[in-house]
Amino acid sequence: MLKKRKYLLLSIISGLLAGLSWLQAGLSLLIHIAFVPVLLIMEDLIKSSDKKAKLKFYLYGFLAFLIWNIISVYWIINSTIAGGIAAILISALIMSFALPFIFISRQKFGKTIGGLVFISIWISIEYFLSHSQLSWPWMSLGNAFADNIKLVQWYDTTGAFGGSLWILSVNYLIFNAISSPNPSSKNRNYLITGLIIIIPIIISLYKFYTYKETSAPVKITIIQPNIDPYKEKFSSSVSEQILNIKKLIITNEINNPDYILLPETFIHSGVQIDKLNDDINIRELRDIFSEYLSSEIVTGAVLLEIFSDATEASSSSFQIHGSNKFYNLYNSALMFGQNSEIRVYHKIKLVPGAETVPYHKTFRFLNKLIFNLGGISGTHSADSVQRVFNHSFKNIYTSTAICYESVFGEFISNFVKNGAELLFIITNDGWWGNTYGYKQHKNFARLRAIENRRSIARCANTGISCLIDQKGQIISETSWWKAEILNGQINKNSTITFYTKYGDYIAKFSVYTFLIFLIIAIVLKVKNKFLK
């Protein structure tokens, strides 16, 4: 009974430490010890003669991960209760997939191999969640430092997966030090752990204080309309919302910017792609910004692609009721000037459960599981190319990430590989209310700035909109849930970082490492069985 209470307490402590590090409250360093209590449970169970040791470790580990996820992403239930509960449970279950492998490798092959398996399988799972259709990189360990960017300036070399590697290594070394019976070994482990914590911090601080941006200013105006996504956004017309912007402009100065940004799905009326130039809302936007002849307008829009050929329909297409026509639904970003063509990018990284269902092309019945998030719910179609657009009058190349896309490190780096010198993010974080959700989302953008050394302009419907420099510092920002206009300058940059060039190489190496260990373990098991 005492051991059960001890394990339960350790499990809860582990979940609390991990959860607190995710609250964007300056507690990110707690993640360096968050796994230690769970690993101590494992060590104690391995030494016991309990036949259910592996199962118990799994259950206590799952409890820790469940607490972590509840604290970190409870806010999802504000947009959908069922979706929020599902996201928390599935995330904790997928994390827990690593536990049996960690336990067996430690039990059969010792601490060194056990540690390598612990690190490689965890990062492999993060990579799977980032690159598979499950699309859930939110809980990747490297994101923990999004509110403490001075510590991770080396993300321009490693990406956020470098942060995951750092966190896992420190946790395992601390666990080794605590569990070591040999005092000299214990002290050596503490020394190594201290060096592995301190050296990356010193490198990061050096990069932070010595990195200098090349002066290449681009003038930005961000318009934060602050339209309640539940009560106003999809129940009032786009024309009414444009009228509110006109009133906002009257009381705020706009100084002939290079770009004017509006948030995700600002034009929510469902415009046909082949009729964009005739759309009244686009004409109205051009009209209210008509005095800024050299400005490009960047806005979110819900677009429709209507067609009659049934052979063109995909698993994401809808048939128009009572006709033989079909349509594809897109969450898109538009760029246009007073006289320039309208350039279009459709969101690629769709939100699981709201804009798409994982593996719906294989299991089409899953499309019925889409959760309702207001006016843009339903299975969306996606672009085939991560597009870069040139300014109509100036030599500036930009890409626009839409909402959830800003969480994906390598995905954003591909925009930069394609030529983007500046990055825009348009989003609507109002679904989550005044919670940690919008703060996490905003700060994740700071990591993308560091990874690629690209300045970012972020436009959020209800906040927080901001301008971010190439070191991930917030230059200026708006308030939460307030209509505002933010003017400022950020520098463009054409230099390619190591991470931009090579992407998630740490994660890919971890996948190969884990697979090698797995193959060796299977071969040894088959060999031992054959010899018997």
Check residue 373 and give its pLDDT: 43
pLDDT of residue 375: 41
- Confidence at 83, pLDDT banded by 50, 70, 90: confident
Question: Among all chains, which residue has been given the structure tokens 């939460």?
Answer: 480
State the sign of the Cα–Cα–Cα–Cα dihedral 351, 357, 361, 364: negative
What is the structure's pLDDT at 29? 95
What's the pLDDT score for residue 92?
A: 97
Task: Please give the average per-residue pLDDT across 220-246, as a whole number.
Answer: 92
Task: Give 137-172 pLDDT, tens digit per residue.
Answer: 999 999 999 999 999 999 999 999 999 999 999 999
Mean pLDDT score, 469-473: 98
Reported as a single tens digit per residue, the pLDDT across 397-421 is 999 999 999 999 999 999 999 999 9
The pLDDT assigned to 339 comes to 87
Is 271:303 a contact under the CB 8 Å cutoff?
yes
DSSP3 helix / strand / coil % (the chain, rounded to 5): 55, 15, 30
Other C-beta atoms closer than 10 Å to the C-beta of 369 total: 16
CB 294 within 8 A of CB 393: yes
Is a pLDDT exceeding 90 seen at residue 526? no
pLDDT: which is higher, 439 or 317: 439
How confident is the model over 476-494, as a mean pLDDT?
Answer: 98
Task: Band the pLDDT of 372: cuts 50, 70, 90.
Answer: very low
Question: Which tokens sit at 297?
Answer: 């307008």
Tell me the C-alpha to C-alpha distance, in Å, between residue 121 and each of 213, 285, 449. Answer: 37, 50, 27
Q: State the Cα angle at 357 between 354 and 362, rounded to 5°.
A: 160
Question: What percent of the chain is modeled with pLDDT above 70?
Answer: 96
SS3 467: strand
* CATH architecture classification, 217-496: 4-Layer Sandwich (3.60)
Assess whether pLDDT exceeds 50 at residue 374: no
Write down the pLDDT at residue 13: 98
According to DSSP, the residues that pair with 333 across neighbouring strands are: 300, 345
Q: Confirm if 157 and 450 have CB atoms less than 8 A apart.
A: no
What would the mean pLDDT of 197-210 be, rounded to a whole number? Answer: 98
Torsion angle of C-alpha atoms 432, 433, 435, 441, degrees rounded to 10:
50
| Radius of gyration, CA atoms only, the chain | 25
Which tokens go with 270? Answer: 């469902």
Q: What are phi and psi of 394, to 5 degrees?
A: -130, 160
- Rounded CA separation 162/160 (Å): 5
Closest by Cα among 282, 389, 407, 286 to 348: 407
Q: State residue 275's pLDDT score.
A: 95
Phi/psi-derived region of residue 304, left when phi > 0, alpha when psi is between -120 and 50, beta in every other case:
beta
- Amino acid in position 136: W
Assign 365 a pLDDT band (cuts: 50, 70, 90): low
Residue 366 clears pLDDT 60, i.e. is over it:
no
Beta pairing, strands 217-224 & 259-261: parallel
pLDDT of residue 364: 60
Q: How confident is the model at residue 198 (pLDDT cuts 50, 70, 90)?
A: very high
Mean pLDDT, the chain, whole residue set: 93
The full length of the chain comes to: 532
Kindly indicate the confidence band of residue 317, based on its pLDDT and cuts at 50, 70 and 90.
Answer: confident
User: Is residue 280 pLDDT above 70, yes or no?
Assistant: yes
- Phi first, then psi: give them for residue 340, nearest 5 degrees: -85, 165
